[in-house]
């Protein structure tokens, strides 16, 4: 066994248990991400300097009540979209092609037919960020149509806060000793194996060799760095004054960071050689970002002409 420079912490996945009900770090990460994201958006709405100029004319684009109701919809979008995204992108499409060649498939996709409850069994593992994103987008579109809110302005607010949830989610992945990186000899490599891991997984799925802590890489890039970039872009450069541009910034930032980290992240879901499903799903995000940016500049320039 190779000793890691950074030992993996002995943290139980469950924080506390009340009989059959357990509170896990992963659930707490979702809750913290949503609540802090909600709070951050309220802080943005209460900053008068952000809404003083065109096109807002000193009127915030949404009320606190709007955002509170919206986050109920977003929560459902994250959970339903994240799980269905995993089922469709990985369980059906990828495993349907990889079959038994993909060890991560565990008898999928036919397992969904034999036991349909596996479709909703998120507690067994399996949530897709890209599926969650589609769920959130759907929720925001439906909510804005119902409450007559400007879609791209609201989507910019959600995009500005999204890195908060990504940060906590990746930290939870690390605590759970899941989605680890490739074997490495860097000094900060981590051996994802200790007594806690053995007890919860019946062994050490990641083996006993040091691996890249790719969850931390993603927490830093997709969480901290992307949050700071979008924060500076809004507060200091007024990017939100072109509705849709902050959304584009988030999508291209996440797409690029996720594509890069996939080179360090261990994944059995490969399409070809080094090219993973995560990278394949990130490419449409960057293309969509270009479309959002084009729309933002086109719509803004059209209003300026008028």
- Range of 203's domain? 163-306
CA atoms within 13 A on the CB side of 236: 6
Instruction: Lowest mean pLDDT of 60-69, 249-258, 260-269, name the range.
Output: 260-269
- The answer as to whether 129 is a domain residue is no
Strands 21-24 and 14-18: antiparallel
Please give the pLDDT value at position 106. 64
Please give the pLDDT value at position 5. 64
- The answer as to whether 152 is a domain residue is no
Instruction: Lowest mean pLDDT of 1-5, 24-28, 52-56, 81-85, name the range.
Output: 1-5
Instruction: Lowest mean pLDDT of 66-75, 262-271, 278-287, name the range.
Output: 262-271
Which residues make beta-bridge pairs with 21? 18
Asked if the model's pLDDT at residue 101 lies above 50, the reply is no
Q: What average pLDDT does this structure show over 54-81? A: 92
pTM, 2 dp: 0.85
The gap from C-alpha 274 to its chain's centroid, in whole angstroms, comes to 22
Q: How many domains does the chain have?
A: 1
The gap from C-alpha 130 to its chain's centroid, in whole angstroms, comes to 7
What percentage of residues in the chain have a pLDDT greater than 90?
Answer: 57
- The answer as to whether 96 is a domain residue is no
- The answer as to whether 259 is a domain residue is yes
- The answer as to whether 267 is a domain residue is yes
pLDDT band at residue 4 under the 50/70/90 scheme: very low
Asked if the model's pLDDT at residue 43 lies above 60, the reply is yes
> CA 206, CA 216: separation in Å to the nearest integer?
16
Q: Which two tokens stand for residue 173?
A: 């992945």
- The answer as to whether 94 is a domain residue is no
Contact 202, 209 (CB under 8 A): no
Please give the pLDDT value at position 294. 93
Please give the pLDDT value at position 299. 78
Please give the pLDDT value at position 20. 67
Please give the pLDDT value at position 87. 82
- The answer as to whether 24 is a domain residue is no
Give residue-wise pLDDT tens across range 139-183. Answer: 999 999 999 999 999 999 999 999 999 999 999 999 989 889 999
Asked if the model's pLDDT at residue 188 lies above 90, the reply is yes
pLDDT band at residue 111 under the 50/70/90 scheme: confident
Alpha-helical (H) ranges within the chain are 25-45, 64-85, 95-98, 110-114, 129-147, 151-175, 195-201, 214-218, 226-235, 245-261, 277-305
Please give the pLDDT value at position 100. 47
- The answer as to whether 153 is a domain residue is no
């Amino acid at each position: 066994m190779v000793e890691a420079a950074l030992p993996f912490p002995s943290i139980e996945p469950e924080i506390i248990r009340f009989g059959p009900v357990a509170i896990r770090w992963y659930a707490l990460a979702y809750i913290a991400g949503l609540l802090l994201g909600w709070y951050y958006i309220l802080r943005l709405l209460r900053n008068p300097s952000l809404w003083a100029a065109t096109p807002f004319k000193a009127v915030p684009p949404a009320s606190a009540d709007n955002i509170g109701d919206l986050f109920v919809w977003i929560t459902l979008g994250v959970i339903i979209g994240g799980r269905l995204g995993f089922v469709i992108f990985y369980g059906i499409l990828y495993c349907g092609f990889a079959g038994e060649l993909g060890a991560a498939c565990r008898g999928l996709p036919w397992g969904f037919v034999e036991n349909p409850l596996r479709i909703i069994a998120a507690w067994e593992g399996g949530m897709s960020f890209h599926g969650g994103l589609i769920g959130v987008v759907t929720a925001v579109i439906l909510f804005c149509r119902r409450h007559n809110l400007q879609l791209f302005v609201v989507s910019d607010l959600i995009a500005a806060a999204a890195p908060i949830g990504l940060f906590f989610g990746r930290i939870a992945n690390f605590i759970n000793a899941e989605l680890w990186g490739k074997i490495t000899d860097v000094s900060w490599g981590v051996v994802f194996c200790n007594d806690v891991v053995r007890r919860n997984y019946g062994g050490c799925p990641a083996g006993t060799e040091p691996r890249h802590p790719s969850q931390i890489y993603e927490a830093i890039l997709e969480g901290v760095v992307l949050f700071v970039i979008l924060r500076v872009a809004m507060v200091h450069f007024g990017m939100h004054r072109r509705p849709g541009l902050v959304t584009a910034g988030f999508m291209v930032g996440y797409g690029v960071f996720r594509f890069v980290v996939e080179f360090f992240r261990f994944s059995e879901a490969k399409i070809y050689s080094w090219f993973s499903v995560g990278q394949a799903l990130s490419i449409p995000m960057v293309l969509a970002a270009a479309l959002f940016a084009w729309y933002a500049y086109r719509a803004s320039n059209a209003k300026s002409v008028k």
